[in-house]
Amino acid sequence: MSRILKFNLNGNPAEVKVGEADTLLEALREGLAFTSPKCGCNHGDCGACTVIVNGDAVKSCTVIALTAEGKNVWTVDGLAKGGKLHPVQKAFHEYGAPQCGYCTPGMVMAAVAFLNRHPSLSSLTEEEVKDALSGNLCRCGGYKKYAQAVIAAARGDFGPLPEQEGSGKNV
C-alpha cells in the first residue's frame, strides 16, 4: 500500500508517494530525485545517507519514510543559499577533506547538526568532533582533514555559522 508523505524539505513543502516499508532515503533519492544522500550500506553503518530531521542528524536509510510526516528535513542541497556555501562546506573544500566525495554530503550534515547543537563552540574539543563524525565512514581515509575542518568552521574561520534558515536550527 502506497501513501502520500507530506513534509518540509530544505524549507519547502514536499510530498511524495511512498510504500509503508520505504525508507526516508528511498523517498528522497527515488521518489524526489534528491541524490545527495548516498546509499553506502543500507544498514545505518556508514552514514553516507545522513540528513537532518527536526535538528537531529539521522541515517535516512534507517528511518521509515512515513515517520517523517510533517517534519523538517534538510539535505546538503538546502545549505548553500544563492551559491553562498555554509561555513562547513567552505571548510571541507578549503581543507581538501573530500577525496572521492561519496561520504561528503553525509559528513556535512553530521557536522552541521553537531555544531548547531553544541552549547559552547568556543570550548569545542577535537575529541567531541571525532565523536560527532564517528558514525560517518570515509574509505579514502579523510578523517583528519574532516575533523580539522569542523574545528576551523566552529572557530569562525569561514564566517559566522548561520542561525536561521538552512542551519537546521530553525527546526
Partner 1 sequence: MYNSVGKRIPRYDGIGHVTGRTQYVSDVTMPGMLVCKTLRCPYHKARIKSVDVSAAKKSPGVYAVITKDDVPHNLFAMVPDHHVLAEEITRYKGQNIAAVAAVSRDAALDALAAIEIEYEELEPVIDPEEAIKDGAPQVRPEGNNHLFDGNSLTRKIRRGNIEDGFKEADFIVGGRYTTPSQEHAPMETCCSVAYVDASDKLVIHSKAQGLYFAQGDLANVFQLPLNKLKFVGGTIGGGFGGMNSIHTDHIAGLLALATGRPVRFALTREEEMLFSTIRTPWIFEIKDGIRKDGVITARHVKVLHDCGAYTELGLYAVEKNANLIAGANRIENLAVDSRMVYTNKMPSGSMRGFGVNVGQYAEQVQLDRLAHAVGISPMEIRFINAFRTGDKNHTGNELAAVSTIETLQKVAAMSGQKLPEKYLAMSSGSAG
Q: Does residue 102 interact with partner 1 by CB under 8 A?
A: yes
Nearer to partner 1, 19 or 55 (CB): 19
Distance of alpha carbon 132 from alpha carbon 107, whole angstroms? 10
Binding residue for partner 1, selected from 3, 11, 14, 41, defined by CB under 8 A: 41
Parallel, antiparallel or unpaired: strands 56-59 and 50-53: antiparallel
Binding residue for partner 1, selected from 24, 103, 151, 161, defined by CB under 8 A: 103
Secondary structure of 110-139 as H, E, C letters: HHHHHHHHCCCHHHCCHHHHHHHCCCCCCC
Q: Does residue 167 interact with partner 1 by CB under 8 A?
A: no
Q: Which of helix, strand or coil describes residue 5?
A: strand
Q: Does residue 146 interact with partner 1 by CB under 8 A?
A: no
Tell me the three cell numbers of residue 141. 581515509
Number of C-beta neighbours around residue 124 at 10 A: 18
Q: Does residue 108 interact with partner 1 by CB under 8 A?
A: yes
Using CB under 8 A as the binding rule, the residues of this chain from 123 to 142 that contact partner 1 are: 137-140
Q: Does residue 31 interact with partner 1 by CB under 8 A?
A: no
From 62-70, 76-84, 116-124, 158-166, span contacting partner 1 (CB under 8 A): 76-84
